[in-house]
């Protein structure tokens, strides 16, 4: 029986492990892939307090080593479900069953991809899913944003103050995001909308050089030379395996307050799988700290009942 089982070894999960270990709780972290989460793909982090510049990989390594040094046990197994047994929970993997007094789901979310050949290989080499993370590397260069929702419009607006030229590629004839943001974009001389269009190919020579774009109405294909492509077509939260025990919003994110609690006592959520307005490294680590603190309080309440 562990005090706390944490599902996910990204920034939220590892921060939760650090806080829980410092509270003298036994902690098991389950991770399906490799520790660090999405941040390992970021070449340089420049907006995290104290660290002026650190690679995502180095950040993940230091966080992992800190959690391990404090006593967290980290096992690389994929959690495929959970059972609620009242005063304890059981997290299930294909190989094992792990009991805990409290569980923190820090499963994160995956970027919805374009599904094009070479996409994974170009991440960090001209292709990004986070304009606020990587936009600074494209000052006075030519970039494009794919998407038509609020995130895409905000990304394009943010990049317009950095890049020389911004193409905004959307598959429909009108953007789905807020009109106020769309209006501000129309006032930007260096932003060019490319509507009714989809990206059909990524062209590269070790790094991205251009994209092929198909106009769905005319059938015409054009090639756009680019230094960077930012994909903003949505994210997919990884909550399906636990949806029985948490409320989900229409996009599949876990509904919780700032205390990271769920409808199931003893079950908490932290990081990018949680419904919130800002998804950044600093908010993920903040969630981890809050979720661990709340989990410790919950365990203390169980002990008080005894």
Q: How many domains, the chain?
A: 2
Adjacency order of strands within the sheet including 208-215 = 197-204, 208-215, 221-225
CA-closest candidate to residue 264, choices 273, 252, 254, 279: 254
What confidence category does residue 306 fall into, taking pLDDT thresholds of 50, 70 and 90?
low
**Look-up of token digits 């993940």:** 60
Q: Do 15 and 95 reside in the same domain of the chain? A: yes
We report the CATH number of the domain holding residue 252 as: 3.50.50.60
Domain boundary among 231, 261, 296: 231
Phi-psi region of 122 (alpha: psi -120 to 50; beta: other; left: phi over 0): alpha
Q: Do 225 and 241 reside in the same domain of the chain? A: no
Domain boundary among 231, 264, 287: 231
Q: Which domain holds residue 70?
A: 2-111+235-305
Q: Do 132 and 54 reside in the same domain of the chain? A: no
Residue 166: which H helix or E strand, with range? strand 165-169
Whole-model pTM? 0.74
Q: Do 243 and 106 reside in the same domain of the chain? A: yes
Residue 43 predicted with pLDDT over 80:
no
Question: Annotated catalytic residue: which of 133, 155, 227, 287?
Answer: 133
Q: Do 127 and 216 reside in the same domain of the chain? A: yes
* Lowest mean pLDDT across 40-54, 87-101, 140-154: 40-54
Q: Do 170 and 202 reside in the same domain of the chain? A: yes
CA atoms within 13 A on the CB side of 293: 9
The Cα–Cα gap between 71 and 18 comes to: 8
Q: Do 97 and 141 reside in the same domain of the chain? A: no
* Lowest mean pLDDT across 86-90, 102-106, 132-136, 159-163: 132-136
- Res 232: pLDDT: 93
Residue 9, both tokens = 């070894």
134 is catalytic: yes
Q: Do 244 and 106 reside in the same domain of the chain? A: yes
Domain boundary among 181, 202, 231: 231
How far the first Cα of the chain sits from its last, in Å, is 17
130 is catalytic: yes
Q: What is the pLDDT of residues 255-302, one digit of tens each?
A: 999 999 999 999 999 999 999 988 889 999 999 999 999 999 999 999
- Res 183: pLDDT: 93
Average pLDDT for the chain: 94
Q: Do 193 and 124 reside in the same domain of the chain? A: yes
Pairing verdict, β 235-237 and 142-146: unpaired
The Cα–Cα gap between 280 and 110 comes to: 14
Question: Annotated catalytic residue: which of 3, 134, 227, 287?
Answer: 134
Q: Do 92 and 169 reside in the same domain of the chain? A: no
Residue 139, both tokens = 């000052």
Question: Annotated catalytic residue: which of 3, 21, 130, 287?
Answer: 130
Q: Do 15 and 154 reside in the same domain of the chain? A: no
Q: Do 136 and 156 reside in the same domain of the chain? A: yes
21 is catalytic: no
């Amino acid at each position: 029986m562990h005090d706390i089982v944490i599902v996910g070894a990204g920034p939220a999960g590892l921060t939760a492990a650090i806080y829980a270990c410092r509270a003298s709780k036994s902690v098991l972290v389950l991770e399906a892939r490799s520790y660090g989460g999405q941040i390992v793909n970021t070449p340089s982090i420049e907006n995290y307090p104290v660290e002026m510049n650190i690679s995502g990989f180095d950040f993940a390594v230091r966080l992992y080593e800190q959690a391990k040094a404090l006593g967290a046990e980290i096992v690389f197994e994929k959690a495929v479900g959970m059972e609620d047994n009242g005063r304890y929970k059981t997290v299930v993997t294909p190989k094992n069953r792990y009991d805990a007094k409290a569980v923190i789901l820090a499963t994160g979310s995956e970027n919805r991809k374009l599904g094009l050949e070479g996409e994974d290989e170009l991440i960090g080499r001209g292709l990004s899913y986070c304009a606020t993370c990587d936009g600074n590397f494209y000052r006075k260069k030519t970039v494009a944003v794919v998407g038509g929702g609020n995130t895409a419009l905000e990304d394009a607006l943010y990049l317009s103050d950095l890049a020389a030229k911004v193409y905004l590629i959307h598959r429909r004839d009108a953007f789905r995001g807020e009109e106020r943001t769309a209006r501000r974009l129309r006032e930007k001389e260096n932003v060019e909308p490319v509507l009714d269009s989809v990206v059909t190919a990524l062209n590269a020579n070790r790094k991205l050089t251009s994209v092929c774009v198909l106009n769905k109405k005319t059938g015409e294909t054009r090639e756009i030379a680019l230094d960077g492509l930012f994909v903003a077509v949505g994210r997919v939260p990884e909550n399906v395996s636990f949806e029985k025990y948490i409320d989900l919003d229409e996009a599949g994110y876990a509904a919780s307050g700032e205390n990271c609690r769920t409808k199931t006592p003893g079950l908490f959520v932290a990081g990018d799988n949680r419904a919130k307005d800002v998804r950044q490294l600093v908010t993920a680590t903040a969630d981890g700290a809050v979720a661990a603190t709340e989990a410790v309080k919950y365990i203390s309440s169980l002990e008080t009942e005894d």
